[in-house]
Amino acid sequence: MPQLNPAPWLLFMGLSWLVFAAIVPTKVVKYIENYNPAPKNISQAKTRTWIWPWS
């Protein structure tokens, strides 16, 4: 069984790995927002009872 000739695809595989490993992550990180949640109010909201019009 003959071996594959790496000349046509080896360059493209190397360049694609270079793009995915070096260029794409830096562009994706720019769009990720830092998630800084605001502290929630500890006191609970007071709820009112529902007044049914027929009762």
Instruction: Please give, one letter per residue, the 3-state secondary structure of 26-38.
Output: HHHHHHCCCCCCC
Residue 1 has pLDDT above 50, yes or no: no
Q: Using CA atoms, how far apart are residues 52 and 55, in angstroms rounded to an integer? A: 6
What distance lies between CA 48 and its chain's CA centroid? 40
Burial track 24-36 (b if 16+ CB lie within 10 A, e otherwise): eeeeeeeeeeeee
pLDDT in tens, 4-40: 777 778 888 899 998 888 888 887 777 777 666 777 6
pTM, rounded to two decimals: 0.42
Per-residue pLDDT at 36: 67
Per-residue pLDDT at 42: 65
